[in-house]
Structure 1
Amino acid sequence: MNNLQPASVWHYFQELCKVPRPSFKTQKAQQWLLDFAKEHGLESIHDKTGNIIIRKPASAGRENAKPVILQGHIDMVCEKNNDVQHDFEKDPIDFYVEDDWMRARGTTLGADNGIAVAMALAVLAADDIKHGPIECLFTVDEEVGLVGASGIEPGLLQGKTLINLDSEDDHWVCIGCAGGINTLAQFAYETMETPAGMYYFKVGITGLKGGHSGTDINAGRGNANQLLVRFLYEEAQQNELYISSFQGGNLSNAIPREAACIAAVPFASKEQLRVRLNLFEAALQAEFGKNEPDLKLTLDSIDAPATMLKPEYATRFLQSMYACPNGVIRMNKDMPEQVDTSTNLASVKPTAGKEN
């Protein structure tokens, strides 16, 4: 890490990785920024929404230049693999560098938009950059609906030119932002006692890249919920399949990387189930190729769960999930590489009496 350049940017990003900052819970990161401003003798403003503005006066001779605003958001998408023990409200991000990429072990890294915070702080701390007046705007809760940006009080910002640092692609300038809508579907269901004489198992999909449901939706990556439902739906066409529970994904703006289902088939079908799973895995590997090199399907024997969904409810659930659209719906007719409309089957989880 010490060899990464610009050193100041990576220093501040490493320090930020030590500070918990889930959406709606960025108070520690807010205080960290205020402490930075105090340490460097810079003016800071902390508004009622939680946004922070830090101002740096112009360099000598640049006092008459127009102020420039550098903007990024504090919060991060908090996703982790099922086998990872990590509390995003307490634990630092465990990062490493591999093949010129910084990654996190089993969790999201938070470079969206932590790298913007780090770049802005590096500019604020620098004494070798000629610049006019600078305002750095750090907003809160961007990942859950642009809450901070919407709550900025009129008149707080002095600059007329804003550079948005929340743009992930090199050599591109972001000039707009897509809107988003969350759709919540609930399926009421009834359960029954688990039938005897069945093969009880947990089937899962792991190793997918995931990503941001906006930025990465056209990257050709797999959606764990969609792919696992696809296998279960096809299995149900050939076998007597019972479902106890299904869970995959978490956040609405993250493409799910893992999903798992507890289910059962007649014991005599155990080996055929395993064969079909292996064939399905091979088909997915051929379908996604280099886009998902670590894709893996797992099948583990388990003890009988207490209950199963009644067959009619399991069928309704599988049919609904199988038919649910996912991915790119429409590309922009004027900019062929630009996604116009997309959707993400982000999270499926059971609640009491409902499958969400």
Structure 2
Amino acid sequence: MNSDIRKLEPRALWENFADLNAVPRPSKREERVIRFVKDFGQRLGLETYQDGTGNVIIRKPATPGMEHRQTVALQSHLDMVHQKNAGTDFDFETQGIRMYADGDWVKARGTTLGADNGIGVAAIMAVLASKDIPHPALEALFTVDEETGMTGALGLKGGLLNADILLNLDTEDDRELTIGCAGGVDVTATGIYSQEETPAGIKGCKLTIKGLTGGHSGMDIILGRGNANKLMNRLLYQITSRFQVWVGTIDGGGLRNAIPRESFAAVGVPETEMAVLEAFVQEQAKVLRQEYSTTDPQLQVLAEPVEAPEKVADPEFIYKLLRAIYACPSGIYRMSPDIAGLVQTSNNVARVVLKDGSYSVLCLTRSSVDSEKTDLAQAIQSALELAGATVEQGGSYPGWAPKPGAAIIQLMRDLYREKFNAEPDVNACHAGLECGILGANYPGMEMISFGPNIRGAHSPDEQVQVSSVQKFWDFLLATLRRIPEKA
């Protein structure tokens, strides 16, 4: 399986990707992959440094004849999103990603692939290990915890890098040269609630919403895909408004930067109303499948008899919580009035959990306009506080303001035209890239982001295109050869 991946071209890149994907590397638990990259640099005899946050910097001198070129930082993040399908038996803590080639695409069996940002990491490793690739002096920057707060980039101090140019290898479409991005902030609501014994004569019912497409809560938010937490909340709102229903538990979504694909709830219903409730849920299932037939064709909404929950939440609390979540925007909040097709501001209701007397609602609010990001986060906080939640905002990071006149952008635009006989899509994106944060401590550094075609990032449908990786690799090497001399 993974041995077949090692035979793909460019071989040096894919072999490094296979080695990397054998190392568990969830966000905030990157100790093993940090050690892996440090060992890699030290085996090559290159200057290798780990900062206090966990970021790793490996320096490689310029190849002969390129000593007077500008220094380039090659940057990618070490962590990956760990997501798997509900029916997949896989332990992210102990197992390497199970990859396979499907035509022109590399995929994983029931889990995220880690191409985001593993392909970028593998490309940098291949350049560092090479003996025949011309390049200027390089600083390889491997950051940690990009996916759940960008704390690696936030913790990188000024003065550690000497580079004039930063090439961020974390874009997911090989036609794009990204020169700006959105900032973000985590909105976290928590609280406790009163429980009561389930009344006599109550039967249990498990509500399931699954089969949604999911995806990256920044890059894919423009596609209008269903959010399992919002759909479950809508369903619970409807049934609690029409039936005598007690809510035992809710468990939906996962990481903040992934559009939720699944949500589950356990409710109690009088035996006399069970059949009517099941029929109503099926009616709503038809409505939702019709609404989301284009974006989420595999959507399923199920109601199945189970044992009644032992305890249920206070109905008055449920009344307030469901309405508060209903009031939280999900998806696009505002499109950019200045850049066609760019989402300016959005929110992802990423995680909803209610169990054993406590609950939490986790959101990720993004915007390329910091004031609008703050405004939307405050609106979400206000709605949840009205339900009695304690709400905190944290992990805020800035956006990256485009500088279309930068020399590296002009160089790579011209090079793209020359190599591929096409016009690149020079744009800003709605994802949170580390460039905005890094630029705060290195304001004079020119930055650009590019990468191969990756589809379904942050979901078990993640895949990377083999031919696009070859295109990306060729473009990277050509760029390194064209880096101008220092002024």
What TM bracket, shorter-length normalisation? Answer: over 0.9
* Cα-to-partner distance string for 1:33-73 (whole Å, 9 max, x where unaligned): 11211222322122222111112222222222111111011
Q: Taking structure 1 as reference, are residues 229 and 7 closer, same or farther at Cα in structure 2, changes over 3 Å only?
A: same
- Structure with higher strand content: 2
Aligned: 1:254 with 2:258: yes
Contact 1:202 1:260 in 2 (8 A): yes
Contact 2:59 2:140 in 1 (8 A): yes
Q: Once the 2 structures are TM-superposed, how far is the Cα of residue 109 of structure 1 from its aligned partner?
A: 2.2
Aligned: 1:295 with 2:299: yes
SS in 2 for 1:225: helix
* Cα-to-partner distance string for 1:169-218 (whole Å, 9 max, x where unaligned): 22112222322111122343212211222331111111222222222211
Greater alpha carbon shift after TM alignment, 306-315 vs 65-74: 306-315
Q: Taking structure 1 as reference, are residues 100 and 194 closer, same or farther at Cα in structure 2, changes over 3 Å only?
A: farther
Partner of 2:23: 19
Aligned match for 1:6, one of 10, 29, 34:
10
Partner of 1:283: 287
Greater alpha carbon shift after TM alignment, 264-273 vs 136-145: 264-273
Q: State the alpha-carbon separation in 2 of the partners of residues 145 and 293 from structure 1.
A: 31
Counterpart of 1:105, as a letter, is R
Contact 1:246 1:259 in 2 (8 A): yes
- Pairwise CA RMSD of aligned residues? 1.9
User: Where do residues 192-271 of structure 1 align in structure 2 (5 Å cutoff)?
Assistant: 192-271=196-275
Counterpart of 2:282, as a letter, is N
Partner of 1:185: 189
Greater alpha carbon shift after TM alignment, 110-119 vs 168-177: 168-177
* Cα-to-partner distance string for 1:128-165 (whole Å, 9 max, x where unaligned): 32222122110111222221112223322121100111
Q: State the alpha-carbon separation in 2 of the partners of residues 81 and 202 from structure 1.
A: 19
Runs of 5+ consecutive residues of structure 1 not aligned to the other structure: none
Q: Taking structure 1 as reference, are residues 220 and 3 closer, same or farther at Cα in structure 2, changes over 3 Å only?
A: farther
Aligned residues: 356
Counterpart of 2:107, as a letter, is R
Aligned: 1:321 with 2:325: yes
Contact 2:335 2:341 in 1 (8 A): yes
Contact 2:216 2:258 in 1 (8 A): yes
SS in 2 for 1:25: coil
Partner of 2:52: 48
Aligned match for 1:125, one of 107, 124, 129:
129
Aligned match for 1:155, one of 159, 165, 170:
159
SS in 2 for 1:229: helix
Partner of 1:143: 147
Counterpart of 2:181, as a letter, is C
Aligned: 1:98 with 2:137: no
Q: State the alpha-carbon separation in 1 of the partners of residues 96 and 283 from structure 2.
A: 40
Q: State the alpha-carbon separation in 1 of the partners of residues 312 and 156 from structure 2.
A: 49
Q: State the alpha-carbon separation in 1 of the partners of residues 49 and 159 from structure 2.
A: 12
Contact 2:248 2:311 in 1 (8 A): yes
The structure with higher relative contact order (CA 8 Å, sep 6+) is: 2
After TM superposition, the score normalised by the length of structure 2 is 0.69
Runs of 5+ consecutive residues of structure 2 not aligned to the other structure: 361-487
Q: Taking structure 1 as reference, are residues 327 and 13 closer, same or farther at Cα in structure 2, changes over 3 Å only?
A: same
Q: State the alpha-carbon separation in 2 of the partners of residues 104 and 219 from structure 1.
A: 23
Counterpart of 1:245, as a letter, is T
Q: Once the 2 structures are TM-superposed, how far is the Cα of residue 16 of structure 1 from its aligned partner?
A: 0.9
Q: Once the 2 structures are TM-superposed, how far is the Cα of residue 261 of structure 1 from its aligned partner?
A: 0.1
Q: State the alpha-carbon separation in 2 of the partners of residues 286 and 2 from structure 1.
A: 43
Partner of 1:310: 314
Q: Once the 2 structures are TM-superposed, how far is the Cα of residue 352 of structure 1 from its aligned partner?
A: 4.6
Partner of 1:112: 116
Q: Once the 2 structures are TM-superposed, how far is the Cα of residue 117 of structure 1 from its aligned partner?
A: 0.4
Q: Once the 2 structures are TM-superposed, how far is the Cα of residue 285 of structure 1 from its aligned partner?
A: 2.2
Q: State the alpha-carbon separation in 2 of the partners of residues 216 and 93 from structure 1.
A: 23
After TM superposition, the score normalised by the length of structure 1 is 0.93
Q: State the alpha-carbon separation in 2 of the partners of residues 205 and 253 from structure 1.
A: 19
Partner of 2:176: 172
Q: State the alpha-carbon separation in 1 of the partners of residues 353 and 137 from structure 2.
A: 49
Contact 2:268 2:309 in 1 (8 A): no
Greater alpha carbon shift after TM alignment, 198-207 vs 288-297: 288-297
